[in-house]
Amino acid sequence: MLKHLLIENYALIEELDADFSEGLTVITGETGAGKSILLGALSLILGQRADTRVLRDLHKKCIIEGTFSLKDLPVKDTFDAFDLDYEDFSLFRREITPQGKSRAFINDTPVKLPVMKAIAEKLIDIHSQHESLLVGTSSFQFDVVDSFAKQLDQIAEYRRLFDRYNDFQRQLEELETEERNSRTDLDYYRFQLDELEQAAPDPEEYRRNEEEMAVLRNAEEIGYKLEKALYLLQQSEINIHDQLNEATSLLRSMEAYGTDYTQLAERLNSVLIEVKDIASELSSLSDTVVHDPDQAKLIEERLDQINKLMLKHNATDIKELLEVRDQYRAKIEETDSLEEKINNQKQQIRQIAKELEIRAKDIAEGRARAIPEIEKEVLGLLKDLGMPGARFKIARKPLEHFSRHGKDHIGFLFNANVGGKLQDLSSVASGGELSRFMLSIKSMISQKMLLPTIIFDEIDTGISGETSTRVANILQHMSDTMQVIAITHLPQIASRGDTHLLVYKTVENGQTNTYLRQLSKEGRIDEVAKMLGGEKPSRVMVETAKELIFTKDKQLNN
């Protein structure tokens, strides 16, 4: 339960320090005094977002602290799950700086807002005026039924699996789209690959063909020059070979005169051997250099084939052309592998769907068991709230497909009058009827969920007279098992409070300030009397206020 609330520098509040007790706490005050500001501040330590507009003094930070008594509440596992220290009295703190930065702490440990919100949702529920409109929404109706059936954890597990199912479905669609696009281009890829593989480009072959083509194109010139070189070396009357041979002989004849002549002779002899070898190779090359138009045509066609492929695929050399070939091969293999990926994806989807089917069936059965009890309890509460002729039914029908709520649909059907046709709740209920219906739901669900605290923000909107007393009875009954805080304008409700807090504002030094104080017994009588008869209540109103409060106190004593 909420034990203590500290607010600093928030809206009209400079500083507010308030204690809260068990049972029913009522908060009253004039319109505009700042009751809604209290809830706005409290919502910050429940994980709601805020900005610098909440700052009263733009040069100071805003601080909200709430102390909660957690003893005997099943929340320790939640603290452990977020690696937080659990304490029987835990402090939730929010700070908003003038720079717009927000910080959250639980027991002095910094936490992210989703963490603060996840824990706070197990501690307190705030019901505001506009929330009555939610009762007509499908999501809220599912939450009501599943909360009553105590299967919110199963729903959370189902939704995690359902989100995974949807992720796999999206991935399958992407794979199938990719596969369709790939199949469209597959024939093109295969044609290009076949053309490249048939051409079988080879860097070494390309180099040899270029060299041979150069020879064939210049065969006459090459042959002439080879023959002339051979002529100069060996075949002319005065040729290099004979002259080297004669020079070598002359040096050999002088070997007896010194080793220098011998060495020179050996060197010349080496040159002579090299000249003979060169001449032999020239002769061989000369025999191979033949002008062959047919061979030239074949090589030219081969080179032209490869060059056209390089130009076609924007390749600068054979290596890049081979890379293009490998890319086409990879695309074809990838397209072929997509079919296997799609089959695997479908298999996984089928497995998840089987598990979803089992979970959805269990959830549907839990709802089917809970619905008659919900209908009975809500109708009983509506009767207590002055709607004896009201009829309420939860329609449930199975769905063919999975949804975030399982495989069935539910709808709240309602009619406030005997004999009227049951219709969708949001279309037939008035504002006052919706308020009473929501109170019935909250009364039923909050105790089922074992929430320690519930706050009603003007749940009395749209009701008056005897119904107000009935609402007060329900709130008082709820406060027997939980902490109930009610912001109200009705004296019938205000008189039932175990604790009565008054919100009021003053103007000091040109600044409007909101304050909160606990009323004494005399203060309670005076405030309830004002709610009955205005700022200056008559003696009758004061006596009526005493009677209302006395009746409540007498009920407690009995």
pLDDT, average across residues 501-523? 90
Residue 87: predicted pLDDT: 92
Mean of the per-residue pLDDT values of the chain: 86
On whether the CB atoms of residues 460 and 469 are closer than 8 A, the answer is no
Give the HSE-up count for residue 517: Cα atoms under 13 Å, Cβ half-sphere.
10
Tokens representing 173 are 């669609």
Give the span between the Cα atoms of 549 and 533, in whole angstroms: 16
β-sheet bridge partners, residue 424: 413
pLDDT, average across residues 116-125? 87
Residue 162: predicted pLDDT: 95
Residue 410: predicted pLDDT: 92
User: Secondary structure of 45-91 in the HEC alphabet?
Assistant: CCCCCCCHHHECCCCCCEEEEEEEECCCCCCHHHHHHCCCCCCCEEE
Residue 208: predicted pLDDT: 85
Give me the DSSP letters along 228-288: HHHIIIIISSS-HHHHHHHHHHHHHTTGGG-HHHHHHHHHHHHHHHHHHHHHHHHHHHHHH
pTM score, two decimals? 0.64
pLDDT tens profile 358-374: 999 999 999 999 999 99
Provide the 10 A C-beta neighbour count for residue 408: 17
> Which of these, 464, 519, 457, 523, lies nearest to 484 by C-alpha position?
457
The helix/strand/coil state of 528 is: helix
**Residue 500 banded pLDDT, cuts 50, 70, 90:** very high
pLDDT, average across residues 324-347? 85
On whether the CB atoms of residues 552 and 476 are closer than 8 A, the answer is yes
Residue 130: predicted pLDDT: 57
CA 435 and chain centroid, separation: 35
On whether the CB atoms of residues 156 and 453 are closer than 8 A, the answer is no
Of these ranges, 121-125, 126-130, 237-241, 392-396, the one predicted with the greatest mean pLDDT is 392-396
pLDDT tens profile 206-226: 888 887 787 777 777 777 888
pLDDT tens profile 89-99: 999 999 999 98
β-sheet bridge partners, residue 67: 4, 91
On whether the CB atoms of residues 170 and 161 are closer than 8 A, the answer is no
Q: Between β-strands 453-457 and 391-403, what pairing exists: parallel, antiparallel or unpaired?
A: unpaired
Q: What is the DSSP letter of 422?
A: P
Strand order in the sheet with 89-96: 13-19, 2-10, 62-69, 89-96, 102-106, 109-111
Give the span between the Cα atoms of 307 and 450, in whole angstroms: 82
Cα dist. 15→9, 11, 92 in Å? Answer: 6, 10, 17
Give the HSE-up count for residue 441: Cα atoms under 13 Å, Cβ half-sphere.
27
Provide the 10 A C-beta neighbour count for residue 270: 11
Strand order in the sheet with 453-457: 124-127, 453-457, 483-487, 24-28, 499-508, 511-518
On whether the CB atoms of residues 544 and 530 are closer than 8 A, the answer is no
Task: Compare 54 and 159 and report the one with higher pLDDT.
Answer: 159
Percent of the chain with pLDDT over 70: 95
Tokens representing 472 are 């007060």
β-sheet bridge partners, residue 391: 415
**Surface-to-core class of residue 249, CB atoms within 10 Å of its CB (0-12 exposed, 13-18 middle, 19+ buried):** exposed
Residue 233: predicted pLDDT: 87
In the chain, the N- to C-terminal Cα span, in Å, equals: 26
- In the predicted structure, residue 519 carries a pLDDT above the cut 80: yes
The helix/strand/coil state of 10 is: strand
Give the span between the Cα atoms of 430 and 433, in whole angstroms: 5
- In the predicted structure, residue 145 carries a pLDDT above the cut 80: yes
Tokens representing 151 are 């299967």
The helix/strand/coil state of 515 is: strand
pLDDT tens profile 242-278: 888 889 898 888 888 888 888 998 999 999 899 899 9
pLDDT, average across residues 337-363? 92
Q: What amino acid occupies position 528?
A: V
Residue 558: predicted pLDDT: 45
Vertex 346 angle, CA 345 and 351, to 5°:
100
- In the predicted structure, residue 11 carries a pLDDT above the cut 70: yes
**Surface-to-core class of residue 435, CB atoms within 10 Å of its CB (0-12 exposed, 13-18 middle, 19+ buried):** buried
Residue 96: predicted pLDDT: 92
pLDDT, average across residues 13-31? 91
Of these ranges, 8-22, 26-40, 292-306, the one predicted with the greatest mean pLDDT is 8-22
In the chain, domain spans: 180-336
Give the HSE-up count for residue 210: Cα atoms under 13 Å, Cβ half-sphere.
9
- In the predicted structure, residue 556 carries a pLDDT above the cut 60: no
On whether the CB atoms of residues 302 and 201 are closer than 8 A, the answer is no
Give the span between the Cα atoms of 511 and 11, in whole angstroms: 11
- For residue 406, the surrounding DSSP H or E stretch is strand 406-415
Q: What is the DSSP letter of 129?
A: G
Give the span between the Cα atoms of 430 and 418, in whole angstroms: 16
Give me the DSSP letters along 78-142: HHHHTT----SEEEEEEEE-TTS-EEEEETTEEE-HHHHHHHHTTTEEEE-GGGGGGGGSHHHHH
Tokens representing 272 are 């002579």
pLDDT, average across residues 150-166? 92
Percent of the chain with pLDDT over 90: 34
- In the predicted structure, residue 319 carries a pLDDT above the cut 70: yes
Give the span between the Cα atoms of 484 and 273, in whole angstroms: 119
Write the Ramachandran bin of 422: left for phi over 0, alpha for psi from -120 to 50, otherwise beta. beta
- In the predicted structure, residue 429 carries a pLDDT above the cut 80: no
pLDDT, average across residues 382-393? 87
pLDDT, average across residues 530-535? 86
**Residue 533 banded pLDDT, cuts 50, 70, 90:** confident
CA 558 and chain centroid, separation: 55
